[in-house]
Amino acid sequence: MSFASLGLSAPILRAVSETGYTVPTPIQQQAIPAVLSGGDLLAGAQTGTGKTAGFTLPILQLLSQRTVRGTGRRPIRTLVLTPTRELAAQIEESVRVYGKYVDLNSTVIFGGVSINPQIAQLRKGVDILVATPGRLLDHVGQKTIDLSQVEILVLDEADRMLDMGFIRDIRKIIALLPRQRQNLLFSATFSDEIKALADGMLNRPALIEVARRNAPTELVDQKVMLINQQSKASLLAHLISEQSWYQVLVFTRTKHRANWLAEKLAKGGIEALAIHGNKSQNARTRALADFKDGSLQVLVATDIAARGLDIVDLPHVVNFELPNVPEDYIHRIGRTGRAGTTGEALSLVCGEELKYLADIEKLLQRKLPRHTVTGFEPVAETEPMDRPPRGAQQQRRGQGQGRGQGQGRGKASAPARRPAGAAPAQRPAGTRSWGSPRGSSRTTRGF
């Protein structure tokens, strides 16, 4: 099947051809005709499937063929809502690339940067607006934006927007839009909350699912590396150096850990930078640009900062720490294995993360292969998983303050010693000693 067979116009086909794409992906094959029909759409598509082009291409065609209502400056005719700044910028870039031969313009607005240039751009008139919910509502509050003529609303990565607490903002925005409009909702996973949002927003939508529900791409080779928490950074540096990994996206659960790991790798001679919500937008943009062009070897990111990152042919994703929400694992590894390419996702798993691993495997409906590396074999741990690096405002033992995902420090592990003749301490449900790993565990010197 070709793009021409989907009913796209000559100017749009010309732009697509210039990008080098010749065959539409499965989501594009189904979504483009559905959007062109003018009806609502509910699409379940994992990251890396080409869903951005799946809605931008037909939207560009629909708007270019319709007469603009009213006179004066261009009204906002399509609104695309996304959860993160990086994803918003990526989508707006796609709109400009694919729309270069049609008479439409676009802009992107998000927080973390000055609002004044955005106001100036909106005053000139915009056909397609890509925005994050918070900054869009800032403009609404300042009366610098008019949404009364929106014809098409797109919610991209709706599941992440709900996870990030944007549901109230989304409802406020929807209330500002015309009642008669086309609605497109894209989500990598279908939770009860997503279904409820779709029921209240969509009118007899076409339903598209291009992959097994809540499943990661099959093009990603997933592995688990069993390792003590204290040895993770050393093992990661070892793998990057020994295997000559040139482009590695590493995930941590916290901003603090992302900063610490990036600094530790950099001190060891590996070029690394961290991106997260506390970094300025300029710093995040520069780091991402350097990572994309290959001048930066390792990018360490939190889930929110990396959501929606589109990096061509990214070979390696590493979970330095497993997420406590299983669906986030799918989003993370979806950064590789995109648009038909293969990739590798490696998870460094310590003893206290086995419960997270079990939840992920339950979602995947399969067990991931376990490995160890000679010289880094795990031993019984006596330190808690999220212990801060030495010298970084450590908390005293026994205070019982919540750590990471709400775990008390006293629950980290069993004591290293017990009185002679005493019964072994009972481990919390779902944990085990390293001496009896589940599944296949073998020692290798790398991948």
Lowest mean pLDDT among 122-131, 253-262, 387-396: 387-396
Q: Residue 399 pLDDT > 90, yes or no?
A: no
The type of residue at 56 is T
Taking each helix axis from N to C end, the angle separating 10-19 and 85-98, rounded to the nearest 10 degrees, works out to 120
Question: Is the pLDDT reported for residue 363 higher than 50?
Answer: yes
Calculate mean pLDDT across residues 336-351: 80
Average pLDDT over residues 294-300: 92
Of the candidates 173, 175, 87, 162, the residue with the CA atom closest to the CA atom of residue 130: 87
The alpha helices in 50-115, defined as continuous H runs, are: 51-65, 85-98
Please report the pLDDT score of residue 211 as a whole number.
57
pLDDT tens digits for 6-49?
Answer: 989 999 999 999 988 888 888 899 999 999 999 999 998 766 67
Residue 356 in tokens: 């997270």
Fold match between domain 4-209 and domain 220-381+440-444: yes
Q: What is the pLDDT of residue 216?
A: 55
Q: How confident is the model at residue 382 (pLDDT cuts 50, 70, 90)?
A: very low
Reduced to 3 states (helix: H, G, I; strand: E, B; else coil), residue 403 is strand
pLDDT at res. 163? 79
pLDDT, position 36: 95
Q: What is the pLDDT of residue 69?
A: 60
Residue-wise pLDDT tens digits, 210-226: 754 445 556 788 999 99
* Cα–Cα separations (whole angstroms), residue 163 to 34, 138, 327: 27, 21, 10
Q: What is the pLDDT of residue 410?
A: 37
Predicted pLDDT of residue 341: 65
Report pLDDT for 354: 94
Chosen CATH of 4-209 out of 3.40.50.880, 3.30.420.40, 3.40.47.10, 3.40.50.300:
3.40.50.300
Query: Per-residue pLDDT tens for 251-296?
Result: 999 999 999 999 999 999 999 999 887 888 788 888 888 888 888 9
Return the pLDDT at 437.
36
pTM of the model: 0.61
Pairwise CA distance, residues 62 & 197, whole Å:
25
| Topology, domain 220-381+440-444 | Rossmann fold (3.40.50)
Predicted confidence (pLDDT) at residue 133 exceeds the cutoff of 50: yes
Highest mean pLDDT among 144-158, 371-385, 403-417: 144-158
Burial class (CB in 10 A: 0-12, 13-18, 19+), 442: exposed
Residue 340 pLDDT level (bands cut at 50, 70, 90): low
**Domain spans of the chain?**
4-209, 220-381+440-444
Sheet holding 343-349, edge to edge: 272-275, 298-301, 248-251, 316-319, 343-349, 220-226, 370-373, 441-444
Query: For residue range 135-146, what is the model confidence (pLDDT) as tens digits?
Result: 999 999 999 999
What residues contact residue 103 under an 8 Å CB cut-off, 6+ apart?
64
Question: What is d(CA 335, CA 309) in angstroms, rounded to the nearest whole number?
Answer: 7
pLDDT score for 279: 82
pLDDT for 407 beyond 60: no
DSSP 326-343: HHHHHHHHTTSS-TT--E
**Reported confidence tier of residue 71, pLDDT bands at 50, 70, 90:** low
Region of poorest pLDDT, from 22-26, 174-178, 303-307, 318-322: 303-307
